[in-house]
């Protein structure tokens, strides 16, 4: 998928790189050309950042596709040079035209109401095409974009947008953190999705305006905060969709870490556990947990640190971050206030509740969306939703195969090691390993 980075949606411009060619253009009857001919290449299409606006969607990238045309009209003789273009290949297409003054029209618009790419037009007037110059095109679009954060969206039913009787699915971005849809302006439709906490269908009515961004996140038991922020001729509309209902899985409440990350919690016997892996970058007192990606530094640490699996942020949702053992036992508390990193004894209590031989199956997420087959015995009848987030042990590995969680308990006979708990793709039970304190593993918190 070909994408161009978007920090903010303001004005489209095309940077056209002009390279002098050694070719000569012959004189045509009635039309006089300059001696030199230039080869034009559209380098990219960029949305300028508004320096005065808040960065609300800093990870989003625009997608260009579809077919269209670019027309260069020579103002000296009205000669037109028309080329067909593929929106997904703008950065590789080249166009040969003579030197001169031109009006330019790039047309990659579309008449469809829902797209997986942005239709737009871009123009420039009285532009001098000469050797080694760049030309800016001012762009426009009739489309807005719907963005939906994936957190708490049940992926078993793809979110979709209904306009009159037409239904269009939203597309999952490459980064995996947002669903998106480009929709033509001046229409009204309904965004539909299934949320994963109470398993209810949620609908949100949206009135689409051109060059507006409708960014939705799911929030549990919180006030509806609608924010509209003007960014020149683009407007970003942030809104929270409120989830409410009755739990079918003993999901109790939502707890927030100091970074504002929300976690489902679940009561199992006498314990209350997080039902998601920890994602925080700070201790409960506000101190930062260092993000260490240099293996030599990581392996020599005797204090807390975190990293993403493969050092790639796309794995944060849903697997969380990987932490060394020192993070779990730091006195500043990696868990939210009123919670703590799980101990060896608490894990044993959890396994005993279901029975040691089948506890792994009760704690693992069902199916093979995240676990590799056969995901033996997985029922998730606990609501714990254990995931195979892998680990870092001098290198990254075992994602899809293993879920590994630190306990805060050291191995008395081996001071360099600490106990962990491990669920596997091929077992209904569980493993009881101990690891060097410098491996990277997941953390689950337990309520005090």
Over residues 121-158, the pLDDT tens digits come to 888 888 887 764 556 667 777 888 888 888 888 888 89
Rounded-to-integer distance, Cα 339 and Cα 273, Å: 9
Domain ranges across the chain: 3-140, 143-243, 251-447
Instruction: Supply the DSSP string of 225-264, one letter for each residue.
Output: --EEEEETTEEEEEEEEEE----SS-EEEEEE-TT--EEE
Is residue 402 over pLDDT 80?
yes
Length of the chain: 448
CB 379 within 8 A of CB 366: yes
Residue 446 CB partners (closer than 8 Å, separation 6+) = 271, 272, 273, 274, 339, 340, 341, 342, 343, 346
Rounded percentage of the chain residues whose pLDDT exceeds 90: 43
CB 415 within 8 A of CB 437: no
At 61 the pLDDT is 57
Rounded-to-integer distance, Cα 432 and Cα 229, Å: 51
Rounded-to-integer distance, Cα 442 and Cα 388, Å: 10
Is residue 445 over pLDDT 90?
yes
143-243: CATH, from 2.30.230, 3.30.10, 2.170.120, 2.60.40? 2.60.40
Instruction: Supply the DSSP string of 94-133, one letter for each residue.
Output: EEEEESEEEEEEEEE----SEESS--EEEEEEEEEE-TT-
| CB neighbourhood size of 429 (10 A) | 17
- DSSP reduced 3-state for 90: coil
Q: Take residue 149 and report the two structure tokens written for it.
A: 């954060």
At 68 the pLDDT is 86
At 77 the pLDDT is 93
Higher pLDDT, 253 or 408: 408
**Residue 38: pLDDT band with limits 50, 70, 90:** low
Over residues 348-394, the pLDDT tens digits come to 999 999 999 999 999 999 999 999 999 999 999 999 999 999 999 99
Is residue 56 over pLDDT 50?
no
At 238 the pLDDT is 59
For residue 310, report the phi and psi dihedrals to the nearest 5 degrees.
Answer: 60, 15
Rounded-to-integer distance, Cα 103 and Cα 73, Å: 5
């Amino acid at each position: 998928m070909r994408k161009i980075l978007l920090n903010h949606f303001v004005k489209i411009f095309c940077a056209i790189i002009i390279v002098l060619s050694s070719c000569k253009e012959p004189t045509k009857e009635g039309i006089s050309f300059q001696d030199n001919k230039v080869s034009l290449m559209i380098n990219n299409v960029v949305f300028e950042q508004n320096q005065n606006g808040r960065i609300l969607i800093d990870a989003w990238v625009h997608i260009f596709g579809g077919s269209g045309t670019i027309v260069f009209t020579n103002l000296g003789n009205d000669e037109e040079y028309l080329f067909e273009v593929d929106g997904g290949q703008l950065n590789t297409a080249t166009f040969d035209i003579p030197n001169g003054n031109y009006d330019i029209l790039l047309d990659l618009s579309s008449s469809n109401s829902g797209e997986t790419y942005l239709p737009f037009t871009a123009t420039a007037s009285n532009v001098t095409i000469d050797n080694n110059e760049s030309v800016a095109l001012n762009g426009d679009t009739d489309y807005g974009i719907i963005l939906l954060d994936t957190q708490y969206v049940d992926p078993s039913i793809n979110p979709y947008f209904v306009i009159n009787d037409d239904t269009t699915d939203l597309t999952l971005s490459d980064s995996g953190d947002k669903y998106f849809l480009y929709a033509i302006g001046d229409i009204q439709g309904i965004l539909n999705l299934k949320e994963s906490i109470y398993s209810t269908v949620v609908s949100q009515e949206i009135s689409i305006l051109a060059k507006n961004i409708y960014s939705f996140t799911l929030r549990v038991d919180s006030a509806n905060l609608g924010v509209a922020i003007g960014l020149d001729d683009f407007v970003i509309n942030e809104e929270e969709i409120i989830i409410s209902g009755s739990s079918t899985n003993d999901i109790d409440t939502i707890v927030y870490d100091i970074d504002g990350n929300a976690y489902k919690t679940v009561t199992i016997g006498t314990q209350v556990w997080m039902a998601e892996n920890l994602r925080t970058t700070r201790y409960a007192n506000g101190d930062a947990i260092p993000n260490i990606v240099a293996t030599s530094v990581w392996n020599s640490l005797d204090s807390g640190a975190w990293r993403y699996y493969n050092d790639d942020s796309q794995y944060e949702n849903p697997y969380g971050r990987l932490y060394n053992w020192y993070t779990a036992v730091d006195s500043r508390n990696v868990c939210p206030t009123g919670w703590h990193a799980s101990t060896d004894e608490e894990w044993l209590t959890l396994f005993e509740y279901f029975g040691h031989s089948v506890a792994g199956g009760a704690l693992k997420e069902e199916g093979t969306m995240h676990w590799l087959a056969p995901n033996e015995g997985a029922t998730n009848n606990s609501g714990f939703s254990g995931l195979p987030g892998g680990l870092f042990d001098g290198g990254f590995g075992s994602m899809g195969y293993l879920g590994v969680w630190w306990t805060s308990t050291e191995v008395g006979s081996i001071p360099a090691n600490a106990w962990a708990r491990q669920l596997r793709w091929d077992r209904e039970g569980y493993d009881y390993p101990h690891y060097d304190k410098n491996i990277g593993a997941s953390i689950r918190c337990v309520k005090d």
